[in-house]
Structure 1
Amino acid sequence: MSFRIRGASASPGMVIADHSKKAFLELKRKKAHRYVIFRIDENKNEVVVDKTGGSAESYTDFSESLPENDCRYAVYDFDFVTAENCQKSKIFFIAWAPATSRIRAKMLYATSKESFKRALDGVHYEIQATDPTEMDLEVIKDRAN
Protein backbone atom coordinates (compact mmCIF):
# COMPACT_ATOMS: atom_id res chain seq x y z
CA MET A 1 0.00 0.00 0.00
CA SER A 2 1.35 3.42 -0.98
CA PHE A 3 0.25 6.86 0.10
CA ARG A 4 -0.60 9.26 -2.69
CA ILE A 5 0.42 12.88 -2.13
CA ARG A 6 -2.55 15.16 -2.65
CA GLY A 7 -2.89 18.91 -2.83
CA ALA A 8 -2.64 21.78 -5.25
CA SER A 9 1.14 21.99 -4.99
CA ALA A 10 1.85 18.26 -5.38
CA SER A 11 3.31 16.82 -8.53
CA PRO A 12 0.62 14.83 -10.34
CA GLY A 13 0.65 11.22 -9.21
CA MET A 14 3.52 11.52 -6.69
CA VAL A 15 3.35 8.63 -4.22
CA ILE A 16 5.02 8.04 -0.86
CA ALA A 17 6.46 4.52 -0.81
CA ASP A 18 5.33 2.35 2.13
CA HIS A 19 8.90 1.96 3.36
CA SER A 20 9.25 5.76 3.46
CA LYS A 21 6.29 6.19 5.78
CA LYS A 22 7.46 3.21 7.86
CA ALA A 23 11.01 4.62 8.21
CA PHE A 24 9.60 7.95 9.43
CA LEU A 25 7.38 6.20 12.01
CA GLU A 26 10.37 4.15 13.20
CA LEU A 27 12.31 7.40 13.73
CA LYS A 28 9.40 9.11 15.45
CA ARG A 29 8.03 6.33 17.68
CA LYS A 30 10.86 3.86 18.21
CA LYS A 31 13.91 6.14 17.85
CA ALA A 32 15.28 3.45 15.52
CA HIS A 33 16.95 6.07 13.29
CA ARG A 34 18.66 9.40 13.97
CA TYR A 35 17.73 10.53 10.48
CA VAL A 36 16.04 9.43 7.27
CA ILE A 37 16.95 10.86 3.88
CA PHE A 38 14.36 10.58 1.11
CA ARG A 39 14.68 10.98 -2.65
CA ILE A 40 12.17 11.19 -5.43
CA ASP A 41 12.40 8.24 -7.80
CA GLU A 42 11.40 9.99 -11.03
CA ASN A 43 10.83 6.70 -12.90
CA LYS A 44 8.27 5.49 -10.36
CA ASN A 45 7.03 8.99 -9.39
CA GLU A 46 7.54 7.94 -5.79
CA VAL A 47 9.26 9.26 -2.64
CA VAL A 48 11.60 6.52 -1.42
CA VAL A 49 14.13 6.10 1.39
CA ASP A 50 17.63 6.99 0.21
CA LYS A 51 19.45 6.39 3.53
CA THR A 52 18.82 5.97 7.24
CA GLY A 53 21.22 6.79 10.04
CA GLY A 54 21.51 4.78 13.22
CA SER A 55 20.55 6.33 16.54
CA ALA A 56 24.24 6.76 17.47
CA GLU A 57 25.09 8.78 14.34
CA SER A 58 25.92 12.47 14.69
CA TYR A 59 24.59 15.55 12.96
CA THR A 60 27.86 15.67 11.00
CA ASP A 61 27.23 12.10 9.76
CA PHE A 62 23.79 13.23 8.64
CA SER A 63 24.85 16.42 6.86
CA GLU A 64 27.70 14.60 5.09
CA SER A 65 25.19 12.02 3.81
CA LEU A 66 23.34 14.61 1.75
CA PRO A 67 24.45 14.71 -1.90
CA GLU A 68 26.47 17.73 -2.97
CA ASN A 69 24.67 18.17 -6.31
CA ASP A 70 21.16 16.76 -5.90
CA CYS A 71 18.00 17.53 -3.94
CA ARG A 72 16.66 15.46 -1.05
CA TYR A 73 14.09 15.58 1.73
CA ALA A 74 15.29 14.57 5.17
CA VAL A 75 14.03 14.24 8.73
CA TYR A 76 16.41 14.54 11.65
CA ASP A 77 15.59 13.68 15.27
CA PHE A 78 17.44 16.29 17.35
CA ASP A 79 17.97 15.49 21.05
CA PHE A 80 18.85 18.33 23.40
CA VAL A 81 18.69 19.44 27.03
CA THR A 82 16.66 22.55 27.92
CA ALA A 83 17.77 25.35 30.25
CA GLU A 84 15.62 23.61 32.91
CA ASN A 85 17.76 20.47 32.42
CA CYS A 86 14.97 18.49 30.69
CA GLN A 87 15.80 16.00 27.94
CA LYS A 88 13.82 16.85 24.78
CA SER A 89 13.63 15.75 21.17
CA LYS A 90 12.39 17.66 18.11
CA ILE A 91 11.98 16.35 14.58
CA PHE A 92 13.26 18.60 11.80
CA PHE A 93 12.15 18.37 8.18
CA ILE A 94 14.91 19.55 5.87
CA ALA A 95 14.35 20.35 2.22
CA TRP A 96 17.83 20.13 0.70
CA ALA A 97 18.14 21.82 -2.70
CA PRO A 98 21.77 22.79 -3.41
CA ALA A 99 22.32 25.53 -5.97
CA THR A 100 24.33 23.09 -8.11
CA SER A 101 21.44 20.60 -8.53
CA ARG A 102 19.49 20.29 -11.78
CA ILE A 103 16.68 22.81 -12.29
CA ARG A 104 14.23 19.95 -12.98
CA ALA A 105 15.11 18.34 -9.63
CA LYS A 106 14.67 21.64 -7.77
CA MET A 107 11.24 22.13 -9.37
CA LEU A 108 10.13 18.56 -8.64
CA TYR A 109 11.18 18.72 -4.98
CA ALA A 110 9.71 22.21 -4.52
CA THR A 111 6.30 21.27 -5.95
CA SER A 112 5.99 18.09 -3.84
CA LYS A 113 7.46 19.39 -0.57
CA GLU A 114 4.37 20.64 1.30
CA SER A 115 2.28 17.57 0.57
CA PHE A 116 5.10 15.22 1.52
CA LYS A 117 5.81 17.13 4.74
CA ARG A 118 2.10 17.00 5.69
CA ALA A 119 2.17 13.21 5.28
CA LEU A 120 4.89 13.06 7.96
CA ASP A 121 2.79 13.72 11.04
CA GLY A 122 4.98 14.82 13.93
CA VAL A 123 7.47 17.19 12.29
CA HIS A 124 8.21 20.16 14.58
CA TYR A 125 10.35 22.44 12.40
CA GLU A 126 11.21 22.93 8.74
CA ILE A 127 14.45 24.13 7.23
CA GLN A 128 14.95 24.97 3.56
CA ALA A 129 18.66 24.73 2.71
CA THR A 130 20.59 25.45 -0.48
CA ASP A 131 24.04 25.14 1.13
CA PRO A 132 25.36 23.51 4.33
CA THR A 133 25.55 26.78 6.29
CA GLU A 134 21.75 27.14 6.13
CA MET A 135 21.33 23.89 8.07
CA ASP A 136 24.39 24.06 10.33
CA LEU A 137 24.06 22.46 13.77
CA GLU A 138 23.87 25.96 15.32
CA VAL A 139 20.79 26.70 13.16
CA ILE A 140 19.16 23.49 14.44
CA LYS A 141 20.00 24.34 18.07
CA ASP A 142 18.61 27.88 17.72
CA ARG A 143 15.33 26.64 16.21
CA ALA A 144 14.89 23.91 18.86
CA ASN A 145 15.24 26.27 21.82
Structure 2
Amino acid sequence: MANAASGMAVDDECKLKFLELKAKRNYRFIIFKIESQQVVVEKLGSPEETYEEFAASLPADECRYAVFDYDFTTNENCQKSKIFFIAWSPDTSRIRSKMVYASTKDRFKRELDGIQVELQATDPSEMSFDIIKSRAL
Protein backbone atom coordinates (compact mmCIF):
# COMPACT_ATOMS: atom_id res chain seq x y z
CA MET A 1 0.00 0.00 0.00
CA ALA A 2 1.52 3.32 -0.99
CA ASN A 3 1.95 5.99 1.63
CA ALA A 4 0.08 9.17 0.70
CA ALA A 5 2.81 11.42 2.12
CA SER A 6 5.71 9.89 0.23
CA GLY A 7 3.87 7.93 -2.46
CA MET A 8 6.06 4.96 -1.60
CA ALA A 9 5.00 1.32 -1.57
CA VAL A 10 6.80 -1.44 0.30
CA ASP A 11 7.36 -4.65 -1.64
CA ASP A 12 6.00 -7.71 0.23
CA GLU A 13 9.41 -9.38 -0.14
CA CYS A 14 10.85 -6.75 2.25
CA LYS A 15 8.55 -7.88 5.07
CA LEU A 16 8.95 -11.57 4.20
CA LYS A 17 12.76 -11.47 4.23
CA PHE A 18 12.77 -9.42 7.43
CA LEU A 19 10.56 -12.03 9.13
CA GLU A 20 12.97 -14.75 7.96
CA LEU A 21 15.90 -12.79 9.41
CA LYS A 22 14.05 -12.27 12.70
CA ALA A 23 12.49 -15.71 13.17
CA LYS A 24 14.69 -18.13 11.25
CA ARG A 25 17.95 -16.16 11.23
CA ASN A 26 18.44 -17.01 7.54
CA TYR A 27 20.32 -13.76 6.96
CA ARG A 28 22.85 -11.61 8.79
CA PHE A 29 21.64 -8.45 7.05
CA ILE A 30 19.28 -7.10 4.42
CA ILE A 31 19.87 -4.00 2.34
CA PHE A 32 16.84 -2.23 0.90
CA LYS A 33 16.65 0.41 -1.80
CA ILE A 34 13.93 2.60 -3.26
CA GLU A 35 13.31 1.88 -6.90
CA SER A 36 10.32 2.76 -9.08
CA GLN A 37 8.36 4.29 -6.19
CA GLN A 38 8.71 1.27 -3.90
CA VAL A 39 11.10 -0.15 -1.34
CA VAL A 40 12.65 -3.41 -2.54
CA VAL A 41 15.27 -5.89 -1.28
CA GLU A 42 18.64 -5.16 -2.84
CA LYS A 43 20.92 -7.63 -1.05
CA LEU A 44 20.64 -10.46 1.46
CA GLY A 45 23.69 -11.26 3.59
CA SER A 46 24.23 -14.88 4.59
CA PRO A 47 24.47 -15.72 8.33
CA GLU A 48 28.26 -16.18 7.98
CA GLU A 49 28.88 -12.66 6.70
CA THR A 50 30.56 -10.17 9.00
CA TYR A 51 29.68 -6.62 9.94
CA GLU A 52 32.59 -5.43 7.78
CA GLU A 53 31.13 -7.24 4.75
CA PHE A 54 27.75 -5.67 5.49
CA ALA A 55 29.20 -2.15 5.75
CA ALA A 56 31.15 -2.68 2.51
CA SER A 57 27.87 -3.60 0.75
CA LEU A 58 26.44 -0.13 1.26
CA PRO A 59 27.07 2.16 -1.73
CA ALA A 60 29.42 5.07 -1.00
CA ASP A 61 27.23 7.72 -2.61
CA GLU A 62 23.64 6.41 -2.58
CA CYS A 63 21.06 6.18 0.21
CA ARG A 64 19.83 2.83 1.50
CA TYR A 65 17.96 1.27 4.39
CA ALA A 66 19.42 -1.78 6.05
CA VAL A 67 18.80 -4.17 8.90
CA PHE A 68 21.63 -5.97 10.62
CA ASP A 69 21.23 -8.84 13.09
CA TYR A 70 23.98 -8.37 15.66
CA ASP A 71 24.89 -11.33 17.89
CA PHE A 72 26.82 -10.65 21.05
CA THR A 73 27.62 -11.99 24.51
CA THR A 74 26.68 -9.90 27.54
CA ASN A 75 28.92 -9.36 30.56
CA GLU A 76 26.87 -12.10 32.26
CA ASN A 77 27.91 -14.45 29.44
CA CYS A 78 24.44 -14.59 27.85
CA GLN A 79 24.09 -14.93 24.08
CA LYS A 80 21.91 -12.15 22.74
CA SER A 81 20.92 -10.65 19.43
CA LYS A 82 19.67 -7.20 18.48
CA ILE A 83 18.22 -6.12 15.17
CA PHE A 84 19.52 -2.76 14.01
CA PHE A 85 17.79 -0.55 11.47
CA ILE A 86 20.28 1.66 9.68
CA ALA A 87 19.25 4.62 7.56
CA TRP A 88 22.28 5.15 5.32
CA SER A 89 22.31 8.62 3.78
CA PRO A 90 25.86 9.56 2.75
CA ASP A 91 26.73 13.23 2.40
CA THR A 92 27.72 12.58 -1.22
CA SER A 93 24.29 11.26 -2.27
CA ARG A 94 21.88 13.40 -4.26
CA ILE A 95 19.68 15.77 -2.23
CA ARG A 96 16.49 14.47 -3.86
CA SER A 97 17.44 10.93 -2.89
CA LYS A 98 18.14 11.98 0.71
CA MET A 99 14.74 13.67 0.89
CA VAL A 100 12.89 10.63 -0.46
CA TYR A 101 14.65 8.26 1.95
CA ALA A 102 14.09 10.61 4.89
CA SER A 103 10.38 11.04 4.16
CA THR A 104 9.82 7.28 3.75
CA LYS A 105 11.95 6.00 6.63
CA ASP A 106 9.45 6.01 9.51
CA ARG A 107 6.71 4.38 7.49
CA PHE A 108 9.06 1.72 6.14
CA LYS A 109 10.45 1.04 9.61
CA ARG A 110 6.92 0.47 10.94
CA GLU A 111 6.49 -2.31 8.36
CA LEU A 112 9.41 -4.17 9.96
CA ASP A 113 8.15 -5.29 13.34
CA GLY A 114 10.98 -6.21 15.69
CA ILE A 115 13.62 -3.54 15.15
CA GLN A 116 15.38 -2.82 18.43
CA VAL A 117 17.92 -0.11 17.62
CA GLU A 118 17.91 2.60 14.97
CA LEU A 119 20.98 4.34 13.57
CA GLN A 120 21.18 7.24 11.14
CA ALA A 121 24.52 7.37 9.32
CA THR A 122 25.94 9.83 6.80
CA ASP A 123 29.43 8.36 6.70
CA PRO A 124 30.93 4.99 7.72
CA SER A 125 32.31 6.32 11.03
CA GLU A 126 28.73 6.93 12.25
CA MET A 127 27.95 3.24 11.98
CA SER A 128 31.29 1.74 12.97
CA PHE A 129 31.31 -1.65 14.68
CA ASP A 130 32.22 0.06 17.98
CA ILE A 131 29.01 2.12 17.76
CA ILE A 132 26.98 -1.03 17.00
CA LYS A 133 28.52 -2.77 20.03
CA SER A 134 27.89 0.18 22.36
CA ARG A 135 24.27 0.65 21.19
CA ALA A 136 23.51 -3.07 21.66
CA LEU A 137 24.18 -3.05 25.40
Q: Report TM bin, short chain.
A: over 0.9
What's the CA shift for 1:18? 1.2
For structure 1, the 5+ residue unaligned runs are none
What's the CA shift for 1:76? 0.2
* TM-score, scaled to structure 1: 0.92
CA RMSD of aligned residues (A): 1.0
1:39 corresponds to = 33
1:132 corresponds to = 124
* TM-score, scaled to structure 2: 0.97
Counterpart secondary structure, 2:135: helix
Which whole-Å CA distance do the structure 2 matches of 1:18 and 1:121 have between them?
14
2:94 corresponds to = 102
- Please show how residues 1-145 of structure 1 align to structure 2 within 5 Å: 4=1, 6=3, 10-12=5-7, 14-41=8-35, 43=36, 45-145=37-137
Which whole-Å CA distance do the structure 2 matches of 1:93 and 1:116 have between them?
10
For structure 2, the 5+ residue unaligned runs are none
Identity across aligned pairs (percent)? 56
Counterpart secondary structure, 1:68: coil
